[in-house]
A and B are shown apart, each in its own frame.
Chain A
Amino acid sequence: MTEPVVEIRDLTFAYNGQDVLSDISLTVASGQRLAVLGPNGGGKTTLLKLILGILTPTSGTITVFGDVPGRQSARIGYVPQRLDGVAERRDLPVRVREVVLMGLLRPGRNGFRYTAEEVARADAALARVEMPGLADKRFCELSGGQKQRTLIARALVAEPGLLILDEPTANIDPQGKFCLYEVLARIGEGVTSLVVSHDLSILAAGVTAAACINGRLSYAPEPRLNQDMLDLLYGVHSHTCPMDAFLRRMPPDLAGLTPLETR
């Protein structure tokens, strides 16, 4: 049995004295593709930042590749949710290939130029996300979906042992010329990945396990949601509430509710 990629035990994280996450335990095994679903403000991004070592837990432990978070960051490919306005800036001249090459930076690797081998790897990563021929374009001239794919290529270029995607469906091209789910399912094969989203449709992107997070965490070893997870996502509603009826009508295959009548 190989060592788990991420192991979280009894983790609690408080911000300004309020618990954002409490009593979280989660294991991401090697080769697993886990989707973490949760409402906005439920602590999804906090969990990612804890795994990346950007935040420190209030109590409990996290190990990433058997080490303290942040120590093994070079083995993680991270795709942020958005670039907080940076992606929209026209006054930062940077080519698409150069953005992908940033994924090859590591401590001590600064310098001015990249090697031919590094450039070849960047171009191969761009081909993997179906963006060949756009390498010399300025990043700010891309569409939202192309920017998203460039950031995925930036995460893939270093052949990460763990791929982390934060809300990858947030910037899909509305024209639908490019199917993000298809690419995610394909590039995810063989890569241990952790996808965080508020969008249930992410379960269609080739994930092998699901978890829901909203303060606490509930886990299922298959890409389906159980009753506990639906409660975390949408809250518990009384029988008179229309939301209760809506949740009952949820496709049983997606929600994995068996049997519906016993609720």
Chain B
Amino acid sequence: MIADLSLPFMQNAVLAALLAAVCCGLIGTLVVANRMVFLAGGAAHAAYGGVGLAYFLALPVLPVTVGFTVVAALAMAAITLRRIEDTDTVIGVLWAAGMAFGIILLDLTPGYKPDLMSYLFGSIITVPTADLYALAGLDVVLLAATLRYYNGFVAMAFDREFAAVRGVPVGLLHCLLTALAAVSVVLLIRVAGLILVIALLSVAPSLAVRRAASLGWAMVWAAALNVVFCLSGLVLAYQFNLTSGAAIIAVAAGVFFISLAPGLARKRYG
């Protein structure tokens, strides 16, 4: 196993796992704390519209998809910021509209048509080195944004109205967080696949926020848990010749359910 780490694709897989773990620990914790998981999901699916647009205009896919997704996410953020009660409906409509837009544009594109699904479902074993640089850049941006606006993010998650009264730029932070979540999801899906991204974004942060003393520690714990899930999942996948993403999710889900067990036992017998 150790000897096999010299293989370039294994090194890339381990690096991708570490970078994705840090990214999901940071943005996942912020998204969970601000109750924006549905918003992040909507942005991720609106990304299909960007893929369609890139093929229709014969432009490079990744920049167009990122740009399109950020615009769609900011539109969702702007609408949800003003009319909180309609949040679910607006996100649901943009979620569906983004995907439909992408598929129609692909239908209208002459010549070779890529399978839209395969484009957005990556595999951690076949990560190209260029994507690793993009992920590392994303980690740096996320870390910088978190350090710069940490107190504002915590205040916004805790009590949005009070934060606004104190002069915290709530509107700006809401849009920034939505845009960061959208970019993260698009980049991560290319690397890790949609299902693995959802697992990394939700399982570790939700375990961490219920136990950590502060949001900052929750980010550290979520990132550390993600590293453990990814590395042990990769080892299992290698040893038993399993699909890497599924093995990682199996480890994460196993830990999640084991962590629930004491609470369930207390409820039944307590």
Known: A105-B155, A105-B168. A93 touches B150 (CB 8 A): no
Q: Which residues of B lie under 8 Å from residue A259 when comparing CB positions? A: none
Is A95 part of the contact surface with B, judged by Cβ < 8 Å?
Answer: yes
Is B163 part of the contact surface with A, judged by Cβ < 8 Å?
Answer: yes
Is B3 part of the contact surface with A, judged by Cβ < 8 Å?
Answer: no
Taking a contact as CB atoms under 8 Å apart, the answer to whether B165 and A102 are in contact is no
Q: Which residues of A lie under 8 Å from residue B147 when comparing CB positions? A: 111-112
Taking a contact as CB atoms under 8 Å apart, the answer to whether B162 and A112 are in contact is no
Q: Which residues of A lie under 8 Å from residue B159 when comparing CB positions? A: 80, 83, 86, 102
Interface bin, chain A:
20 to 34
Give the contacts of B135-189 with A (CB-CB under 8 A): 146-152, 154-155, 157-159, 161-169
Taking a contact as CB atoms under 8 Å apart, the answer to whether B154 and A102 are in contact is yes
- CB-nearest residue of chain A to B160: A86
Chain B contact residues, CB within 8 Å of chain A: 32-33, 146-152, 154-155, 157-159, 161-169, 206, 208-218
Q: Among A54, A110, A112, point to the contact of B165 (Cβ < 8 A).
A: A54
Taking a contact as CB atoms under 8 Å apart, the answer to whether B213 and A138 are in contact is yes
Known: A92-B33, A110-B148, A138-B213. A102 touches B167 (CB 8 A): no
Closest 6 CB pairs of A and B: A107-B167, A112-B150, A105-B166, A93-B212, A102-B155, A110-B152
Taking a contact as CB atoms under 8 Å apart, the answer to whether A98 and B154 are in contact is yes
**CA gap between A73 and B148 in the complex, in Å:** 23
The interface residues of chain B, by DSSP majority, are classed as helix
A109 CB to closest chain B CB (Å) equals: 7
Binary interface profile of A, 80-94, with partner B (CB < 8 Å = 1, else 0)?
A: 100100100011111
Taking a contact as CB atoms under 8 Å apart, the answer to whether A109 and B213 are in contact is no
Is A189 part of the contact surface with B, judged by Cβ < 8 Å?
Answer: no
Taking a contact as CB atoms under 8 Å apart, the answer to whether A136 and B213 are in contact is yes
Taking a contact as CB atoms under 8 Å apart, the answer to whether B213 and A86 are in contact is no
A71 CB to closest chain B CB (Å) equals: 10
Taking a contact as CB atoms under 8 Å apart, the answer to whether A92 and B157 are in contact is yes
Is A76 part of the contact surface with B, judged by Cβ < 8 Å?
Answer: yes
A and B contact pairs by CB, cutoff 8 A, 25 listed: A73-B165, A74-B167, A83-B159, A86-B158, A90-B210, A91-B210, A93-B210, A93-B214, A93-B215, A93-B217, A94-B158, A102-B159, A102-B162, A102-B166, A105-B155, A105-B166, A106-B166, A106-B167, A107-B168, A110-B149, A110-B152, A111-B147, A112-B146, A112-B148, A112-B150
B239 CB to closest chain A CB (Å) equals: 35
Q: Among A73, A92, A110, A138, point to the contact of B158 (Cβ < 8 A).
A: A92
Is A99 part of the contact surface with B, judged by Cβ < 8 Å?
Answer: yes
Taking a contact as CB atoms under 8 Å apart, the answer to whether B166 and A114 are in contact is no
Taking a contact as CB atoms under 8 Å apart, the answer to whether A110 and B150 are in contact is yes
Known: A92-B33, A105-B166, A110-B149. A99 touches B158 (CB 8 A): yes
